[in-house]
Amino acid sequence: MIGHTCFDNDPWTLPENRFEIDLLPHTESLFALSNGHIGWRGILDEGEPHGLPGTYLNGVHELHPLPYAEAGYGYPESGQTVINVTNGKIIRLLVDDEPFDVRYGTLVSHKRVLDLRAGVLRRDVVWTSPTGRTVRIRSTRLISLTQRAIAAVRYEVEPLDGPARISLVSELVANEELPHRHNDPRAAAMLENPLVSDLHAVGKTRITLVHTVRHSGLRVAAAMDHTVELLSEHEGEWNDPEALDVRVDSEPDLGRCLVSGVVQPHQTVRLTKFVAHGWSASRSLPAMRDQVDAALAAAHYGGWDALCAEQADCLGEFWSRADVEIEGDAEIQQAVRFALFQLVQSARRAEQRAIPAKGLTGNGYDGHAFWDTESFVLQVLTYIDPQPVAHALRWRHSTLPDARERAAQLGLNGCAFPWRTITGQECSAYWPAGTAAFHVNADIADAVIRYLRVTGDVEFAHGEGMELLVETARLWHSLGHMDEAGDFRINGVTGPDEYSAIVDNNIYTNLMAQQNMLVAAEVVAHHPEHARKLGVAAEEAEAWREAADAMFIPYDELRDVHPQSDGFTDHEMWDFAGTPPEHYPLLLQYPYFQLYRKQVVKQADLVLALQMRSEMFTLDEKQRDFDYYEPLTVRDSSLSACSQAVIAAEVGCGRLAYDYLAEAALMDIDDLERNTSDGLHLASLAGSWIALVSGFGGMRHTDAGLSFSPQLPEGWTRLCFGLVLGDGRLRVDVRTDGVTYEYTGKGPLEVRHGDTLMQLEPGTSETQPLSPPKQRPAPPQPAGRQPARRAHDAVRVSV
């Protein structure tokens, strides 16, 4: 499906043109607001009806047991699950004693708009109560990107056809009843009512609640304060707030501010609500209370207008360097800006916490972070918003003690980062497709390498960056071995394709490990004094280099392609023709045992290697490999489409690349996998930028430098994107009549356009001819798994 009728096309907003109650779980994810520390799902202000209320604090979790039929050495025993913390979103409305509920009375109109430049969610509703009174309700919600602990809501009610008794109930509520979404009943039981009350206190219009998470022991605090005003249109100014009655009360799991009064048709009652959130694993109860109260006081003092102005200024600065401009496809233009907005939301104030696979938009994957973060999300942020990247990598560095302990448990040197985690400890139950996916360690190293290459951050290079590279290189050297022929082999691992597990010499893993060890050896050689502090001798670094130089990369001479891993191309082909469409994703219909022994690919694996280590393959090899793996790749993962788009564009299958771009970009807006209700697919959102910039922009950034081979999708007249490169910025403007490179910075920048090497001086631009690759027929995909065809003039149609 391409084009959901519930959303209008707009270049800078995501507007919902009508209300559909069945889509609430979907829109709650799309309209989620976050800053990387706080996450609020986009539920209705009144709290009901809802799919999943969802208030999250990055890192706040509960522990639960991991089930096994039989115990095994090294199996993780405890899982971690993100929990719903104290909810400050709710403002209930009563009109003449009738509660406002979209399911009752008459919903005359209902519109919501996510504003990507203002960073707010707006709502405008006209509702007639069951007793016949009509009111207009307007609300604006934001989570501050500048004040880490603060969220706020402005809620306004105006009677339209006569005076009305208006009552507002602003709530702060803990331990909300949630839908059961955990398959393990023991885990579900432990996640019920996870918050234990420590304190509840009230002030004039302020309420503070402090709780402890029952099993993890984390302390969470939330506070809310309010301003209440009454606006008269006739007088053009605010009346005395004393015209409204305001009361507050609290109990262990609930705080309320109640506002009531008679409001005339020419009047509007306005409630502005400020909410502060915080948590700690070590701070005392008084300290946590004071932390949220102080943050709240600062926000309340500055006021609503200051919060909104700060938000717009912050995003204005972000868009000035990160915006992608498209002429030729309004839906993709909207979708890529939505994607970039969600990426900056997920990371801006995470500040040395993980960036989960769903961000803070839902509880999918239990709120865990995977390799998605480093390989997709950080890949994009490094070029458009690098500061949060340093924080994310410092979070990985802070978990090194756990990673070293895990490596030792597995009989390895260095560090073994977890497949999935919240705190840094492995919390994925034993699973061949996850436990053996050691490539996550090279993915983290790759993110470090990219960050250093782009930013030149010397302090990070000498500190956390070097240590991450050293410890991951040690892992690879101990995990692999040199065979009698002098080849370095890495056996018994799982690559990105989870339909192939415990394989030998997965090419993606081997090539990423090779890069990891080579760069680690190079960094150690350049900074010997820092290397000595990490206990790295010259002999150890030389051993990494020798292993990298001898890395075994299998090749199938008979078929003239690279096998995904040793022997993969000798496996029996999956019966794609005999697999009905309703049996996808395959993992839900077939035993993994059958998947592991067949040629079927869940997501780009060898093709991802072609993208990430592009310099290791010739164009002819890329074409043959792409042609071989397209008919095998079923894309049962949202991580796949963007990488397939990149390589399709490079090998001359631009039409197919465009289709894959659309799939990555519209994954959540159009709910293509029917699970956006669990939270957004951050990696796919990042993938829309990757497909545009690395695919159609042809960007490659290696030790050899920065290069571009741009092309335009069919029907497009322009693609323009920007990159942050250290202290400079590069803008690449691709048009049908040429490609312009505009550079601002402190020193010259060397850039390659196709075969032409350019030396760009600060404040200059240079234009080169557009020379797209020769187009050729695209290879087929598995029956029923083709991406939806993208018409170049596609427009979302409202009905």
DSSP 336-376: HHHHHHHHHHHHTTT-SS---TTTTS--GGGG-B-THIIII
The answer to whether the annotation marks 602 as part of a ligand binding site is: yes
Q: Please indicate, yes or no, whether residues 75 and 147 belong to a single structural domain of this protein.
A: yes
Q: Please indicate, yes or no, whether residues 117 and 261 belong to a single structural domain of this protein.
A: yes
Q: Please indicate, yes or no, whether residues 282 and 400 belong to a single structural domain of this protein.
A: no
The answer to whether the annotation marks 127 as part of a ligand binding site is: no
Residue 777 lies in a domain: no
Residue 508 lies in a domain: yes
User: Which pLDDT tens digit goes with each residue over 480-512?
Assistant: 999 999 999 999 999 999 999 999 999 999 999
The answer to whether the annotation marks 267 as part of a ligand binding site is: no
User: Can you read off the two tokens belonging to residue 132?
Assistant: 């016949």
Rounded to 5 degrees, what angle do the CA atoms 669, 379, 586 make?
Answer: 55
Q: What is the pLDDT of residue 69?
A: 81
User: Considering its fold, how many domains does the chain have in total?
Assistant: 2
Q: What is the pLDDT of residue 182?
A: 53
Residue 459 lies in a domain: yes
The answer to whether 588 touches 637, Cβ cutoff 8 Å, is no
Mean confidence (pLDDT) of the chain? 95
Q: Please indicate, yes or no, whether residues 255 and 400 belong to a single structural domain of this protein.
A: no
Q: What is the pLDDT of residue 408?
A: 97
Q: Domain boundary residue among 554, 573, 593?
A: 554
CATH number at residue 155: 2.70.98.40
Per annotation, catalytic residue among 310, 374, 498, 663: 498
What does residue 125 show for φ and ψ, rounded to 5 degrees? -130, 140
Residue 536 lies in a domain: yes
Q: What is the pLDDT of residue 792?
A: 57
Query: Longest C-alpha distance within the chain, in Å?
Result: 91
Closest CA relative to residue 773, chosen from 692, 695, 673, 671:
695
Q: Domain boundary residue among 265, 282, 314?
A: 314
Q: What is the pLDDT of residue 70?
A: 85
Rounded to 5 degrees, what angle do the CA atoms 693, 698, 699 make?
Answer: 70
Q: Please indicate, yes or no, whether residues 56 and 184 belong to a single structural domain of this protein.
A: yes
Rounded to 5 degrees, what angle do the CA atoms 221, 226, 230 make?
Answer: 165
Dist CA 320 CA 381 (whole Å) = 14
Please count the CA atoms within 13 angstroms of the CA of 443 that sit on its side-chain side. 26
Is 498 a catalytic site residue? yes
CB atoms within 10 A of CB 495: 29
Q: Please indicate, yes or no, whether residues 379 and 310 belong to a single structural domain of this protein.
A: no
Instruction: Report how far Cα 6 is from the mean position of its chain's Cα atoms.
Output: 23
Dist CA 683 CA 640 (whole Å) = 10
The answer to whether the annotation marks 371 as part of a ligand binding site is: yes
Please count the CA atoms within 13 angstroms of the CA of 199 that sit on its side-chain side. 20
Q: Please indicate, yes or no, whether residues 385 and 526 belong to a single structural domain of this protein.
A: yes
Residue 681 lies in a domain: no
Residue 157 lies in a domain: yes
Residue 535 lies in a domain: yes
Residue 528 lies in a domain: yes
Q: Please indicate, yes or no, whether residues 69 and 150 belong to a single structural domain of this protein.
A: yes
Q: Please indicate, yes or no, whether residues 203 and 112 belong to a single structural domain of this protein.
A: yes
228: exposed, middle or buried (Cβ count in 10 Å: 0-12, 13-18, 19+) = buried
CATH number at residue 386: 1.50.10.10
Q: Domain boundary residue among 314, 343, 360?
A: 314
Q: Judge if pTM exceeds 0.95.
A: yes
Task: Split the chain (799 residues) into runs of 10 and give each run's mean pLDDT.
Answer: 71 95 96 98 97 97 90 91 97 97 97 98 98 98 98 98 97 90 53 94 97 98 97 64 90 98 96 98 98 97 97 98 97 98 98 96 96 98 98 98 97 98 94 94 98 97 97 98 98 98 98 98 95 96 98 98 98 97 96 97 98 98 98 97 98 98 97 95 98 98 97 97 97 98 96 97 98 96 93 51
Q: What is the pLDDT of residue 240?
A: 60
Q: Please indicate, yes or no, whether residues 289 and 412 belong to a single structural domain of this protein.
A: no
Q: Please indicate, yes or no, whether residues 212 and 299 belong to a single structural domain of this protein.
A: yes
Domain hosting residue 169, numbered range: 31-314
Q: What is the pLDDT of residue 798?
A: 39
Q: Please indicate, yes or no, whether residues 249 and 379 belong to a single structural domain of this protein.
A: no
